[in-house]
Amino acid sequence: MSMNGYILVEQSLKLSGTVDLIGAKNAVLPIMAASILTQGKSTFYSVPDSSDVHEMITLLESLGAKIFFDKKENILIIDTVNINKSEVTQEVMDKMRASILVMGPLLARFRKTRVALPGGCLIGARPIDLHLKGFEKLGANITRDNNYFYASINQDKKDQQIVLEYPSVGATENLIMFSVLQKGTTNILNAALEPEVLDFIQVLQKMGAKIEFDIPATIKITGVDNLKPIEHKIIPDRLEAGTLLLAAAITGGEISLPNAIPSDMDLFLEKLKQMGHKIEIGFNNSNGIKLIATNNPKATDIKTCPYPGFPTDLQSPMMAALCLAQGESKAEETVFENRLMHVKELEKMGAQIKTKNSKAIVSGVDLLYGTQVIASDIRASAALVIAGLAAEGKTEVLGIHHWRRGYDKMENKLKKLGAKIKVVEV
């Protein structure tokens, strides 16, 4: 795959049809990391063929795992019997931020680990200090040597309680993986409870971990001696669902997502309704979302927050849709400090947006115009593609590697709905 290609999007009005969602990238990455806690073969279904998944495969292989990935059927088999290393090199860690998620399971399995600082998107500092402070609170010794962190456990862990300063998804997952094989109980307060975290916890429970929930936002882990390999189907990706719903909404179309889980997307769906779009839910047992777009979308305000608030990963795609809504919309980003980098690109297309710090005011315009734009992160790539579907003329979205990192050939799903879109490799 070329890193230098671009996505060519032409105006494509009234996208319509039915699409099946792939499994959530943000669930599968920590679940892959959790396989380190077992010895044997685990099989996962509905795994997206995205470059982040391939990077995690490379990381696990570098530790000694044997992996088979059927990209056509989206089946991933991970054999962890021969994992014999507890160190991850800078080169491997640089590829993506989610690589920090192996620190907890490696520490649990080997009682020591050495990992480099992780790489990833340019969407703010995303400090890993919550992970490190958490490990220390739970009894690990951590030392830093240039870009490497060395962690070890010298004594058996006692019962512990930890309060996260912020409900970080990654820190919650890492601390759970560290705790499941430790003696005693661990309570994590102010834990993240995103749908992807709950799917990940379900995987650990299937493996034999003892994990319970308490109110408010508390996860209680009772240590066990060992965990066993499992089979599991990854939950549908609510961020892919949101992106497809917005693509249909901005083009005045109609879309059905039979396997989408509406209860994972309550606030986002509420915002689409406030814009005037018609939403039907639960036509496929309790699942399924159908959107029938209005031709006169109205402005609405969004503010990103940890789940069940408005998802930060849908802020930029939503802003693309708000550019063509009547009136003035306010958008505030509270999760990542650099997550308004798509604004200047949308402005190149004719959007009217004023920003101050982490807030944006979007004044709806009648038309957007195709031009060349640059995606700075995964969700910005989706925002610019969505804008391009409604814009007059042609839009070239550079930064294709972000699109590939976050989505499993999303261009094919959009094509199926009638979009004029193609990936041009250079």
Catalytic residues: 121
Residues 6+ apart with CB under 8 A from 101: 29, 30, 33, 170, 173, 174, 177
- By residue count, the chain amounts to 426
Element (H, E) at 56: helix 51-62
Nearest to 177 by CA among 204, 208, 198: 204
CA distance 270 to 63: 44
SS3 label, residue 80: coil
CA distance 77 to 231: 9
Token reading at 320: 């693309």
Cis peptide before 308 (omega within 30 of 0): yes
Q: Are strands 231-233 and 41-45 parallel, antiparallel or unpaired?
A: parallel
Nearest to 58 by CA among 105, 11, 94: 94
What residue type is 70 in one-letter code? D
